[in-house]
Chain A
Amino acid sequence: MSASLELLPNRRGHVVLNKKDAAEKPECGRSTLPGVISQRACAFYGARWMLAAIPDVVHLVHGPVGCAYYGRTVRRTNYRIFSSNLAERDIVFGAGDKLYNSIREAVRQFSGTRAVIVYATCVVGITGEDLSAICNRASTDLGLPVVPVNCPGFCGTSQAAGHDIAVNVLLEHFIGKGDKKEPPLDNTVNILGEFDVQGDLGEIEALLGQLGINIICTFSGRASTTAMANSHRAKLNIVHCRRTGQALAEAMHDRFHIPFLKVSFFGLEETTAALRAVGEFFGSDKTEKVIAQDVKKARREIEPFLPGLAGRRVALFFGASRMGSMAKAFQELGMEVIMAGSQFGCRQDYREAGDKVKEGVLLMDDAHDRELEELLTKYRPDLLVGGTKEKYMAHKLGVPFLVFPQEMSPFAGFNGFVNLAREVSGIMGAPVWRLAQSRREVSKLKVAVASGNGLTIDQHFGRAEQFMIFELTPNSVSLLEIRRPAGKESVSYQDSGGRDGVRQRIDLLADCRAVLCTRAGECARKQAGNTGLTVLEKEGPLSEALKWCSSVL
Chain B
Amino acid sequence: MAAATGARVVTIDPCHTCQPLGAAYLLLGIRGAVPLVHGSQGCCSYVRYLLNRHFREPVKVAATSFHEDAAVFGGRRNLVEGIKNLLLCYSPRFIGVVSTCLSETIGDNIDSIIREVQKELNGKINVSSKQVKIVPIHTPSYAGSHIKGYDNASRAVLEYLVQPGKDSNGKLNVIPGIINPGDIEEIKHILVEMDVPFLVLYDISRTLDTPLEISMSRLPKEGTSVKELADAANSLGTIALCRHAGGAGARYLQKKFNIPALLGPLPVGIANTDRFLDSVKKLIGKEIPSSLEWERGILLDAMADSCQYTMMKRAALVGDPDIVAGTTRFICELGMEPAVVMSSTASDEFVREVEVIAREYDYNPVVISGGDLYDFESALKERRADIILSPSHGVEIARKVKVPVVRLGFPVYDRVGYHRRAIVGYRGSLSLLDLIVNSLLEFS
Contacts and interface: CB of A to CB of B under 8 A. Distances in A.
A151 to B, nearest CB: 10
B56 A37 contact: no
Contact of A392 (B42, B57, B141, B215): B57
Interface in A17-63: 31-45, 60, 63
B300 interface: no
B279 interface: no
Contacts of A155: 67-68
Contacts of B88: 8
Interface string A368-396: 11100110010000000000110111011
Interface stretch (A87-95, A130-138, A330-338): A87-95
A153 B10 CA distance: 21
B130 interface: no
A120 to B, nearest CB: 12
B89 A35 contact: yes
A325 interface: no
Interface in B75-119: 77-79, 81-86, 88-90, 100-102, 105-106
Interface string A333-375: 0000000000000000000000000000000000011100110
A392 B56 contact: yes
A127 interface: yes
Nearest to A110: B12
Interface stretch (A98-106, A413-421, A471-479): A98-106
Interface residues of B, number: 76
A156 interface: yes
B221 interface: no
Contact of A122 (B11, B71, B77): B71
A150 interface: no
Contact of B45 (A34, A40, A152): A40
Contacts of B82: 34-35
Given A45-B46, A369-B60, A32 B41 contact: yes
A33 B65 contact: yes
Contact of B70 (A90, A101, A154): A154
Contacts of A43: 42
B58 to A, nearest CB: 4
Interface string B34-51: 001001111101101110
A70 B213 CA distance: 31
Interface string A422-451: 000000000010001100100000000000
Contacts of B13: 72, 78, 80-81
B216 A397 contact: yes
A84 B62 contact: no
Given A66-B141, A126-B71, A388-B53, A31 B11 contact: no
Interface stretch (B14-22, B192-200, B252-260, B355-363): B14-22
Contact of B142 (A82, A91, A157): A91
**Interface-central residue, B83, B105, B213, by most chain A CB under 10 Å:** B105
A69 interface: yes
Contacts of A213: none
A105 B81 contact: no
Contacts of A67: 18, 42-43
Contact of B102 (A80, A90, A126, A432): A126
Given A40-B45, A86-B142, A109-B10, A126 B81 contact: no
Contact of B105 (A34, A44, A85, A91): A91
Contacts of A83: 10-12, 14
A405 interface: no
B84 A35 contact: yes
Contacts of A221: none
A35 B42 contact: no
Interface string B132-176: 000000001111010000000000000000000000000000000
B89 A68 contact: no
B64 A123 contact: no
Contacts of A72: 13-14
Q: How large is the interface on A (under 10, 10 to 19, 20 to 34, 35 or more residues)?
A: 35 or more
Contacts of A32: 41, 63, 65
B142 A87 contact: yes
B212 interface: yes
Given A8-B85, A67-B42, A398-B212, A123 B11 contact: no
B9 A102 contact: yes
A155 B69 CA distance: 10
Contacts of A65: 11, 14, 16-18, 141, 145
Nearest to A41: B45
A104 to B, nearest CB: 8
Contacts of A41: 41-42, 45-46
A36 B18 contact: no
A158 interface: yes
Given A72-B13, A392-B57, A42 B50 contact: no
A117 to B, nearest CB: 14
A30 to B, nearest CB: 10
Nearest to A63: B101
B8 interface: yes
Given A34-B85, A105-B9, A122 B142 contact: no
Given A33-B65, A68-B11, A88 B46 contact: no
Contacts of A392: 52, 55-59
A125 interface: yes
A210 B106 CA distance: 57
B419 interface: no
Given A87-B143, A122-B102, A34 B71 contact: no
A34 B11 contact: no
Contacts of A396: 58, 210, 212-214
A462 interface: no
B218 A38 contact: no
Contacts of A98: 9
A137 B106 CA distance: 28
Nearest to A127: B105
B61 interface: yes
B276 interface: no
A64 interface: yes
**Interface-central residue, B45, B56, B59, B393, by most chain A CB under 10 Å:** B45
Contacts of A37: 48, 60-63, 89
A231 B45 CA distance: 34
Nearest to A30: B67
A397 B142 contact: no
**Interface-central residue, A67, A80, A154, A437, by most chain B CB under 10 Å:** A154
B418 interface: no
A42 B42 contact: yes
A69 B216 contact: no
Interface string B345-388: 00000000000000000000000000000100000000000000
B10 A35 contact: no
A398 B13 CA distance: 38
A395 B416 CA distance: 15
A34 B210 contact: no
A68 B70 contact: no
B66 interface: yes
Interface of A: 8, 31-45, 60, 63-70, 72, 78, 80-88, 90-91, 98, 101-103, 105-106, 109, 122-123, 125-127, 152-158, 368-370, 373-374, 377, 388-389, 391-393, 395-398, 432, 436-437, 440
Top 7 nearest A-B pairs by Cβ distance? Answer: A42-B42, A66-B18, A35-B85, A35-B82, A34-B82, A153-B40, A70-B46
Given A82-B11, A122-B71, A393-B58, 10 more contacts: A32-B41, A32-B63, A37-B60, A41-B41, A70-B49, A83-B14, A105-B10, A106-B10, A154-B70, A398-B214
12 contacts: A34-B85, A37-B89, A41-B42, A42-B45, A43-B42, A122-B39, A123-B101, A126-B102, A154-B66, A392-B56, A395-B212, A440-B214
Interface of B: 8-21, 36, 39-43, 45-46, 48-50, 52-53, 55-68, 70-72, 77-79, 81-86, 88-90, 100-102, 105-106, 140-143, 145, 210, 212-216, 218, 374, 393, 396
